[in-house]
Each structure stands twice: as structure tokens, then as C-alpha cells.
Chains A and B, each alone.
Chain A
Amino acid sequence: MRIKNYLIAGVAVLLGTALNSCNSNDDQGTQDIEIPGVTFDGDTDCCSAEEALQVFRFLETVKIIPELSTVVDGKYNVFAYSRTGKFNVGYNELYFVVTKKKNGNYVKNYELTDLSPVMLMVKMNMRHSTPVSGPAESFNDSYAAVKRTWISFIMSSGESGSWTLGYNVSVLGSKGSVEEADITVDPLPAGQEWVKSFKQGDDTYYISIVNPTDLKTGANTLKAYVSKKSTPATTPYAIASESFRVDIDPRMPDMGNHTSPDNTPLTRQADGSYQGTVNLTMTGLWRIHFTVRDLQGNIVAGGDDLKDGYSSLFWDVTL
């Protein structure tokens, strides 16, 4: 959010300067905006100069994932990005833009669907998918041409198996796709565990925390998604339609299981995510033990006493 605000502020200042410096030239007040590789030819499918500038600025904050780029119909380029240009175990946000080849400008309307990550476990010759969000969607009105979706990888690439990722894209009536592109999912460093599974009856759920790297000393909103494993397992795991309540108990295992007061359970929000408050009194390794309950308060998973007396379900975050 802060980055976004800075961006908006930065762009506002830039635009303000640009506009003010051109006020002797009212009809073409934005002619000063220049973006490398982008020509403004008045194409209404594409962004205006101001919109394009904001998209461009956003893209400077993320890194491209080359293996997920594709060309649709010879007319459009599709580019995928993540924060680091890589994937890691746990929640990853993916950003997409589509450009027209002829002018390099960002296309405003397109659909990006059917994100399908698949892990092939070599030894067992078994395939499974992992939790994903739905179609990519615009998430910020200032650069609506950028669409976002997410994948939460439940394991890393390695000797046990490898990941592929595909998606479908539809741009102004032309259709394209990426099929089973090889991707690498890095394991998390020690002291980080961001996705856990639990069972209710025969159903398996995955609960992924969204913002582990944003956590700071103090009060934090902790956000998560609960996804349900599909049958067959190669179908991407969608957000679970069932609702739960997730009680949290943050502890510092290195500090005699020191904890903090006033943490609030994660509850389901209108957008399908779960949110609660986690208070962290210092940096270091925090083990956020959690207990999943149904809406009546009955324990679904966790809440059992591990040998140290806390729920065996936990995320690890290291600030």
C-alpha cells in the first residue's frame, strides 16, 4: 500500500510538473511523456499517455518472468511479472500486461484465465496442482491495464519433481496461451513457512499467508487464503467456498515461546480472503501457531498440543 501511495504521489508530481511546464500548449498538454518502446498513436484499445506512464512506473517495481511471455496472433505480446522475477514456495503474486506489437502500448482490455500450475513428481509419476486465484484482474484504477492473480506453491522444484505453468489469454478477440512452461519454484529460506494444509473429513485445504514479507514490529494485518484441494488433483485448487475462523497464537521459539497480546482471529472477508491482526513485539523468528475452527467454534484442525504446548499447525515468519 505504501509503495502504491508513493507511486501515486511520484506520478502526480511528475504529471504536475509535466502539465505545468506545458501550459502554453494546452491542446497537447501531455506530449512530453515519453516511454521507451511506446508510441502514442491514438489507438483507443491502448492506454493514454498518462495511463501508460503509470503502468510503466508500476512495471519498474516488478521483474519479468521470461518463460511466461507469449505472443498472441502475431499482434500482441503478453508479459508476466512477479515481485522478484522468481517463484517461491507459498503465496506469489503474478502481474500481467499485454502490449500491441505495432506501438508497444499497453492494451486496456484482455482476459487472462485458467492459470494452471502442475507439479510432476517424477518418482511417483504423480501430478498435482496447487492453490491459485481466479482470472487475473485489475487491482489499481491508476494502472488498470496491469492485471494480477496469485499462486501459492505448496512445494519447491527439486529432485522430487518439477513445476510447469500455463494460462489462457484472450486479447481483443484473439486467443493465445502458454502451455506447460517450465518454471522453478525456490524453497523458502530457513525460518519461513507460509503455506500449511489441514483436513476436514476427506477434504484437504491449504492456507496460505499473503503478506509475510510485509510484517513488521508492531500491529499487523495478517491476510491469508484458504484453498481446497481439487479432484482430480491436477485441477488448480480454488478458494474454498466453506468459511472458517482461524485463531492465531504467535510465539517466539527462540525466546522461550514469548508471545504478544491482543491478536485477533483471521475471519473471512467479502473478497474471500481471511484477515486478522497479529502483534509482533520484535524482529526475529515468529511461529504463528493457528487453530482452524468452523463458524460454530468447533475445532477443525490444529488446536492440538504439540510437545511444546501449542497448536501443531503454524506458519513461520522471520522479520
Chain B
Amino acid sequence: MLGTLLISAIIFTDADSLPLRSQNLDEVDIVSGTTTGRNRSVKGQAAGIDEHISVLRNVNMVRRGSYAWEPVVNNMQTERLSTTIDGMKIFYACTDKMDPVTSYVESGNLQSISLNSGLNGNPQATGNIGGSLDLRLRKAGFDAQPFRLNVLGGHEWNGHLQVYGVDAALSGSRAYANLGAFRRDADCYNVGGGSRLQFSQFHKINLFSNLGFRLSGNDILEGTVIFDRATDVGYPALNMDVSTAQGLITSVSYRHLFSTASWETKAYYNHIIHIMDDTTRPDVAIHMDMPGDSWTTGLYSLLLTSFASHDIALNYDLYYNRLFADMTMYPGGAAPMYMVTWPDVGTLNTGLALTDDISISSRHNLHLSAKVAWQRQKLNNEEGYHAQKVFFPMMKDYYHQTTGRVAALYSFAATDNLGFSAGTGWGSRAPTVTEAYGYYLNNTYDQYDYIGNPTLKNESAIELNASADFSKGLFSVGADANIFLFSNYIIGHFEPRLSAMTVGAEGVKVYGNLKHATIANLSLTGGLEGRFVQLSGKVSYSRGRDNQGDALPLIAPITWQTDLDFAKGPWSGQIEVKGNGRQKVWGQKYGETASARWTILNLSAQYRYRYLTVRAGVENLLDKYYATYADWNDIPQKGRNIYVNLTIEI
């Protein structure tokens, strides 16, 4: 109940809903045809997964090309976030973070993407200091519309991006099925001003299926298979591209429904293969092969129940993940050089989580969540282990860590028009495999080779957050703020004793714990809502400081966005102006360069006629040349881009 309330209470939703909201929960809908007023991309389902995620609050995207963007939540990247697919753990396989796990699904696989900001994670999330994303798979469910067919085609002129997709949903009282196939192809895009950005192409296919069987009145068996394969993916911000990034995601779950509870147990397996490729690049100093593999198998068992004023979720999870990556370099004529960059690290992790949503009264709500997790890591590759031992002679080939989080959020609706929330939490995370055991991983952002540090301490943070919303008539305003006070913040430290491996690298950094660091985010929103027209605006400001008061890298500068939305009958449209201010504070110490200010103008329109929806628009209408602070190595964004897409829903 409360969950629904929270979700529906996104900025500028229907005026009827209470201005009660949590800054901790946000969700973007991907399936079209559901109620209006929810967060969704103006491109509809044709939007790429990254474009859908971009719609979420507190989210920015690190771009290394036009594919596989890395979500940043509350100015924290992958290592401080949890990403799950319907509660399943999945870990990327590229040592250079070219494949955030969100790249292994396709919009059409999903119903929605939910984001829990900060430490208040979804039950399966572990190590989520900045937030947790859960990609919710599309399930027809029982006794829904017996047959649905979705056909999708889209074209974007800039980069000649083509999107094709077909998915079908079958539903009965005993069984349901979702099946889909999707394809995306893009050439290199043009940046503002018209020049072509080399190595920004990608190709992707995706097949998925969800099946559900009702074994008896209260027993449900469900299964998922997703196969996703991207090929010839260019990374203009990096020195290499990707020849193949392939994910196989499978699960089987069993759900039993009690009168006031449901109990789901899911077992899953996923395997990611990631193969980098530098053969299409000119002037490669040394040709390299850099494959990576990630295997994860696990289970979770989730009990959802409610009694009195409590909505309770109790979750147990267990997973085992293996990460292996190596690198072979071929200097002309001489012997190949080989190193293990992720030493086949096996992580066995198990955790127990409890969430309680308490409706104290119609105006007072309390959300509590807690999780404790234990993990053991073993370095299974002897060569990699001995290599890293050069730097850490006392290191062992196994480690274990215990992490946990507790968070509380209190929401109070003072009147029908005025709401407040305040929350706090504490949580910790174990170092990632890259941070603990990565070996000479070249970071093209600051041009250093990074070596993992197996002696790292867990990083932890205290989070404080608060929000206030006020609405009166057509007018609404809101403010959100959060601050994360870190202890043992993990970041790379320059180690002058060591010599870089990568040709052209500045030196070597070894991950270490900073005693303290702080990240704070503030956003202000305002809106005016008329009968057919809605105006909304948002300004965000963030700061990140290390223990010496210097700026952390990849913290957003002042960001703003104004949308004017129209909706009348089958027509809707949007004019959007958004931009970033000049980056006045940047992580110079950490190799960051300041980004310039930019503003762009986007237009979009949608028309619905019976089964047919047509969406068209122009992004970056004025063809501005710009790069955001999160564009890796300042690669420029797309120039003017006209798109049209067509959805037929039967």
C-alpha cells in the first residue's frame, strides 16, 4: 500500500495524490499503455535502457560511448550501488567498466526500473550506499488480457539508429508467457556542429521469455531466460572497443501465496562474456586481448506480509560470483605478455534483510530497513595471486567481510498540501573485486594504472536526508537534500614507487581508504499545472569532498531542467530545456578536468490512435556541441537528432 503511494508520488504526478513522498524511491515505467502521470521516457519503449534510467531522479549517466552507460546515483558510481534484475545479482565482466549490468537487458524485457536512493535498498541489495536499482521484468501475469502483441519500430537520424522489437504476452488462469525479440543498430553519431564521432556505433540483439504456471490456487512457478548480445560496440572515450558483450540470464522461482503473505524463492544463474577489441583502431601501440567473464549463481527467498499497520519484507539471499579477466599483449615480434587482471575471484555472499513499512496513521509513515551480509572471497587463479603478492607480500588468497545497513525514513503529511520526510541510515560495503584485487587496470579517465589493494577496509557511510513538499492549487514546490558522511572512502592513491604498465600512462594508483569523505546533494523542484499544460522545473546541486577538503571526482555541477508538457486527447508533447552550469569545483586532485556549461533544447510529441502510438521529436534542436561532466574523457554528446518511432499494441 505505502509502496504504491510512494511510487505514485513522484514529482508532479496527479494533483489528487497527497504531496507525501519519499525521496528514497523512484520508478520509471517502460511499458506503454499504463496510467499516465508516471515517469517515463518521451521516446516510450523505443528508448534505450540508459535513456529510461536517465529519467530517474538523483541519477546521472557516465557515458563512454553511445552504448552501456553507467548509472550514477547520488553522485556515486557502480561500486557504491546495487543493481539487481528482479532481485537477481549480476556483475559486470569488464575490468574497464564498459558493461554496466544494465546493458545486458533491453527496454522490452522490463516493466519498470525502480530506484531506492541511498541506504534504504531493496531487500536483495547489498553494498548500496548510493542507492539500489532493481530492473523489474515484464510479466503478463495470470488472468490478464489473453493476448497482447507489441510491435515497435524506430529510427533516429543522427547515427542512423534503428530499433525493432516485437513482444507478445499470453495470459490465462493457469499459465502466462512473455516472449520478445529486439534489435538495435547504430552507426557513429554526429556531434553538435556536424562532425562524426568515430567509434560510437553499436549493435545489439536481445531475446527474452518469461513463463509462469499456476501449479495450484496458491502456488506459482515462474521462469525467465534473457539472452542479450551486443557486438561491434564502439567506445570513443576509450582506447578499445568491444567485439562481444553477451549475457545469459536465467531464473526459476516458486511463489506461494498465503492469505496475507506471499513467499517467493528464486534460484538464478547468469553468465556474462565480455571481449574487448582494439583491432579496428589505428595507431595501436600494442595489440591486446582483454576478455572478461562473470558467472553468478544464487537464490533469494522473500517473504512479504502485512499485518496491522505493517508491511513487512523478509529476505534471505545467497550468491556465488566468479570474476575472471586477463590480458595478453602482443608486441611486434617479441613474446606475448600475459597477466591476470581479475584473479578468478570467487565471492560467496549471503545476507538477511528486513524491511518494515509502518503506517502510523494516515499522515505518519515510517519505513525501516536493515540488512546484514557476510561474504568470503577466494582468489582461485594462482598466477594472478602471485602477481599481486609482489605488491602485497603478506596477502592471503582468501578474505571475508561482513557488511550491513540500517535505514529509517519518516514521512509526515502536515496538511493535504504540505509534507515532510526525514531519514537516516548507516551502511557499509566491501571493496569490489577491482578495488581489492584488480591488476594494472588502466583508467583512461585519469590515465593511471590501478592496482587493487587486498588490505582495504570496508567503506561505510552515514546518510541523512530530508525533503519537503508544498502544493497549493496549480502550484507546487519541493526540496530534497541528502548527505553521505563516509568513513574509509575507497579511492585510488598515487603510488610513486610503482611504474605504469600501460604505454602512455601517468603512473600507478593503488586503492586505499580515505579516512573521511562527504557527498551532499540538494535539489529544488517547482511546478505549475494547468488543464492541458504542465510546467515543471528542477535544479540540483552536489558537492563531494575528501578528507582534506578537496573535491571528489565525478560530482555533478549545478544541473537544471525545465519541461513544458501538453496533453490533450490523443496528443501530447513536451518542450524541454536542460543544462549544466560550468563546473566550478572539480576533482583536479583525482585527474578530473572541468566541464563547460551547456544548455540544450529538446522537443517531443506523441500521438495515439487506437492501437498505434507515434512518437517523434528532436533532441538538441540547436545542434549544440557539448559534453557533460560525466562524459568520459569529455566525449561530446549527440548533435541534433530527429527521431520517430511507432508502437503498435494489439
Contact = CB atoms under 8 A, between A and B. Distances in A.
A283 interface: yes
Nearest to A283: B338
A308 interface: no
B383 interface: yes
Contacts of A191: 334-335
Interface string B320-356: 0000000001010011111110000000000000000
A266 to B, nearest CB: 18
Chain B CB within 10 Å, residue with most, of A254, A261, A285, A319: A254
Interface string A227-267: 00000000000000000000000001011111111100000
Contacts of B498: 261
B627 to A, nearest CB: 29
A283 B337 contact: yes
Contacts of A256: 500, 503-504
A283 B339 contact: yes
Chain B CB within 10 Å, residue with most, of A190, A279, A284: A284
Given A216-B386, A218-B386, A281-B390, A258 B501 contact: yes
Contacts of A216: 383, 386
Given A217-B339, A318-B335, A281 B383 contact: no
Contacts of B385: 218
Interface string B529-566: 00000000000000000000000000000000000000
Nearest to B383: A217
A255 B391 contact: no
A57 B334 CA distance: 37
A35 interface: no
B338 A282 contact: yes
Interface residues of B, number: 26
A14 B201 CA distance: 62
Interface string A168-211: 00000000000000000000001100000000000000000000
Contact of B335 (A259, A279, A280, A283): A283
B389 interface: yes
Interface in B387-444: 387, 389-391, 393, 440
B334 A255 contact: no
Given A218-B386, A282-B337, A283-B336, A254 B331 contact: yes
Nearest to A279: B390
B568 interface: no
A279 B498 CA distance: 12
Chain A: interface residue count, which band? 20 to 34
A219 interface: yes
Contact of A284 (B337, B383, B497, B500): B337
B499 interface: yes
Interface string B500-516: 11011000000000000
A115 to B, nearest CB: 33
A282 B390 contact: no
Contacts of A219: 386, 389-390, 393
Given A217-B386, A255-B329, A259-B499, A285 B339 contact: no
A260 B504 CA distance: 17
A219 B331 CA distance: 24
17 contacts: A217-B383, A219-B390, A255-B331, A255-B337, A256-B500, A257-B499, A258-B499, A259-B499, A281-B390, A281-B440, A282-B501, A283-B336, A283-B338, A284-B334, A285-B331, A318-B334, A319-B335
